[in-house]
Amino acid sequence: MSSAASLPQDFLALSARLGQDPQQVQGPGGNTSCKLGTAMWIKASGTLLADAGQKPIFMAVDRALARAEAVGAGDGTCMASRLDASNALRPSIETTFHALIDWPVVVHTHSIAALVHGICPEGRLAAQTRLAGLDPVIVPYAKPGLPLTSAIAARPQAGARLWLLQNHGLICAGDDAASVASLLGEVERRLAVPRLDDITGEQPGAAPEGRVWLPGSHGLARDARLCRIIQAGSYYPDHVVFLGPAVPLIAPDCAAPLALVPGQGLALRSDATAAQRAMAQAILDVLTRLPGDWEPEALSPQDEAELLDWDAEKYRQALAARQSGAAQQGR
């Protein structure tokens, strides 16, 4: 079996770069993989792509066994496909689709530009035009993990290298890190959406007790349309996992990590984890780029319930919370 030391340096560099860019990956989200012989190296669940090359965030699985789980042979966790059973970490919950895709290098991001397009019917139509020639596969929303892998498998397209995931993100694949980075850069260039011009402004007054203002959120709180949208639901899985459903109005008994104070801003709990802070910034980045004639589609209450009551995501939350606590102690 190859070792993590044999992973190409440009693959590690690309993984780290994506993990350090909040326009691509937020907190412990996103994942990358590299196939070497019969092994596939995949980011471990709950680890940070930003740590690629610095910490042992990648683990090896038997690619054939993981691919078999993608089509129903196993429970979809790929725990049985680990090549080092002593590794206490879990393979990414997305391991099955990485194994299913034949390209040697696969990158999955929660690109802000892709989310702006992917959460709206109008955006998905626009993406097909803007990505003309790149032959994107548009994949309807499915719960991360095996359901998403099944949704991807149900839309086979010979030679596909690009998938836009409704209410989720983006997948790019290729022969090596350089070709994937080039494709990802072209996708980002074509899908780039500017922040709304009138969404800036200084934050007024003190935040509610036990909370801090999310920087730059004053403009959203003054926009009636965006206030309606942010309270109407959650729009992608990591929002639900780390912030809970939707963003509620502030109230004396509100325990939600993020709450809306109309006319003033988004108030984040002072004890929010690093992952929660990253997800709060992400929803602000997404909603303040929505064109005025695009209407986002929220995840259903059933979709949210499945994410909130999912052991794999509880594990990822717990690991992210431990990492946040360790970082605080290290300051």
Span of 95-109, 154-168, 219-233, 303-317 with lowest mean pLDDT: 303-317
pLDDT recorded at residue 206: 92
Span of 89-93, 154-158, 229-233, 307-311 with lowest mean pLDDT: 307-311
Estimate to the nearest angstrom the gap between the alpha carbon of 304 and the chain centroid: 15
Tell me if 220 sits within 8 A of 286, measured CB to CB.
Answer: no
3-state helix, strand, coil in the chain (%, to 5): 40, 15, 45
The pLDDT of 144-152, averaged and rounded, is: 96
pTM, 2 dp: 0.92
- Helix (H), strand (E) at residue 94: none
Amino acid sitting at position 227: C
Span of 72-81, 235-244, 316-325 with lowest mean pLDDT: 316-325
Q: What is the pLDDT of residues 81-95, one digit of tens each?
A: 999 988 889 999 999
pLDDT recorded at residue 323: 59
Q: What is the pLDDT of residues 165-192, one digit of tens each?
A: 999 999 999 999 999 999 999 999 999 9
pLDDT recorded at residue 318: 59
Fold annotation for 4-191: L-fuculose-1-phosphate Aldolase (3.40.225)
Q: What is the pLDDT of residues 268-314, one digit of tens each?
A: 999 999 999 999 999 999 999 999 999 999 999 999 999 998 665 55
pLDDT recorded at residue 331: 28
Residue spans per domain, the chain: 4-191, 197-329
pLDDT recorded at residue 204: 72
pLDDT recorded at residue 328: 42
Confidence of residue 147 (pLDDT cuts 50, 70, 90): very high
pLDDT recorded at residue 160: 97
Q: b/e per residue, 146-164, with b = 16+ CB within 10 A?
A: bebbbbbeeeeeeebbbbb
Judged against a pLDDT cut of 80, whether residue 199 lies above it is answered with no
Q: What is the pLDDT of residues 13-59, one digit of tens each?
A: 999 999 999 999 999 999 999 999 999 999 999 999 999 999 999 99
Judged against a pLDDT cut of 60, whether residue 326 lies above it is answered with no
Reduced 3-state DSSP string for 175-193: CCHHHHHHHHHHHHHHHCC
